[in-house]
Structure 1
Amino acid sequence: MENIRVHMHLPLSQNTLLKAPKAVLFDWDGVIVDSEHMIFSALQRTFQHFSLEGPSVPDFYKFYGYSLEDAFKRDFKERWEEAREVYRQVQMNTETQKPKVFEGVQEFLEALSLKKIYCAVVSNKKGDDLRKEAESLNLAHYFSKIVGAQDAQRSKPFPDPVEHALKDTGLNPHHHSVWFIGDRSVDMECAHATKCIPIEAAFFVSKIEENYRYPPTLTIRSYQELIKMLK
């Protein structure tokens, strides 16, 4: 597998050399599974329970990539724990609806597996719920580690979950090419903080603010772009 020359996200006219990965880290919602409409609906119902106006779509993209605890502390103040339970109850009532896995995910994971490239999930979704969902979608076996909220001391954008995902692997983003595929600003910030290569998954729309200070190195519109790079 050779090094691949790709365009920079900002500005588009520049080129950079994207090294073949030794490891690939994935966010989950909006990257592996198309679940954000379900999350957005559950949030709206939670806000309605407290007679509050729910977040706009831009605010949802901006703030709800962070851990649920952090987001709810900001929006519900001293009632954040109560709001968290309401949100989880709403989700439990709709948990029979499995999120759809994005097209190309399994093919990309198979390609990484064949090349023995280390794979892990680094998400701000609650760890136990994340692993349960990965198992239910028959995807868990592709990942050496599935790291969610509360598995590390701090959540993204802090480096802790990435460090946890790479612990005992001998892989260090300072010395090895580690791709971090995410869809939110919090993912790009975490990738920059840990010296991973930030790749934005923008399958429908870019959710990262224009001129954001932690830009992605590459923006993809489908997994086929990354699959071609591995060949």
Structure 2
Amino acid sequence: MTKIKALLFDFDGTLLNTNDLIIQTFMHVLEERFPGQYSPKDCLKFIGPSLKQTFSEITPGEEDAMIAKYRAWNEAHHDELITEYPDVVSTLEQLKEMGVKLAIVSTKRNDMIDRGLEVLGASHLFDIRIGACDVKNVKPDPEPVLLALQRLGIEKNEAIMIGDNSHDIEAGHNAGVKSAGVAWSIKGEAYLQQFKPDYMLHHMSDLLSIVKER
């Protein structure tokens, strides 16, 4: 059985709880543009896709202006609205000690990944991070996953792509790597199971046994 040498993590909603931040940011910009038309529940479907993908659908032709408004509010309220998931950092530290390579594969901007990692206190644990600035095509396209493998020097069968959204699982499938969903996804475990991840994590520490088993 092939040994798992690398874990590729989505960031928002997987390692750091940014759900409230994202929903409140969307509500702020959409309420201004479409008063009374969106609820926080409506904003759940915007978690996962890139901002470009989302605003291309709901405000075609106004993407750049809407993204700028989104980012301004999001950055101003970032640190106050994010929270940590249980045992994320301690598990990452144990994985690192086991010699597993760790990477971020996210659809968000690189500088905001770095800011989130700093708040989490986990910047030193990751070998690389792939953000929206590094690729032409974001998840579920396989490009970000394949670029991470290339930069890590890891084969497809030696990695797992981990995330809280369909885009993460599908990116793993499309790149030919195993995938894992996180049951703490705001969209729920049943939602993720539809996309047939190879593993479902109920706690961050589940990764320790998965890596040891292989």
Superposition TM-score, scaled by structure 2 size? 0.88
Return closer, same or farther for 1:209/1:91 CA change in 2, 3 Å cut-off.
same
| Separation of aligned partners in 2, 1:88 and 1:207 | 29
1:219 equivalent in alignment to 2:200 = yes
Partner SS, residue 12 of structure 2: coil
CA apart distance, 1:223: 1.2
Alignment of structure 1 residues 32-47 onto 2, 5 Å: 32-47=15-30
Whether the aligned pair in 2 keeps the contact of 1:61 and 1:184 (CA below 8 Å) is no
**1:131 alignment partner AA:** D
CA apart distance, 1:224: 2.7
Higher helix share: 2
CA apart distance, 1:128: 1.7
- Counterpart in 2 of 1:100? 83
- Counterpart in 1 of 2:188? 206
Residue in structure 2 matching 1:135, options 118, 121, 126: 118
RMSD: 2.2
CA apart distance, 1:230: 4.3
CA apart distance, 1:150: 2.2
Return closer, same or farther for 1:194/1:158 CA change in 2, 3 Å cut-off.
same
Superposition TM-score, scaled by structure 1 size? 0.82
CA apart distance, 1:56: 5.5
Percent of pairs with identical residues: 25
The unaligned stretches of length 5 or more in structure 2 are: none
Alignment of structure 1 residues 11-26 onto 2, 5 Å: 20-26=3-9
Partner SS, residue 107 of structure 2: strand
Q: Which one is further off, 22-31 or 74-83?
A: 74-83
Q: Which runs of 4+ in 1 moved over 3 A?
A: 59-63, 207-212, 228-231
The unaligned stretches of length 5 or more in structure 1 are: 4-18
Aligned length: 210
Higher strand share: 1
Residue in structure 1 matching 2:133, options 150, 153, 161: 150
Q: Which one is further off, 86-95 or 43-52?
A: 86-95
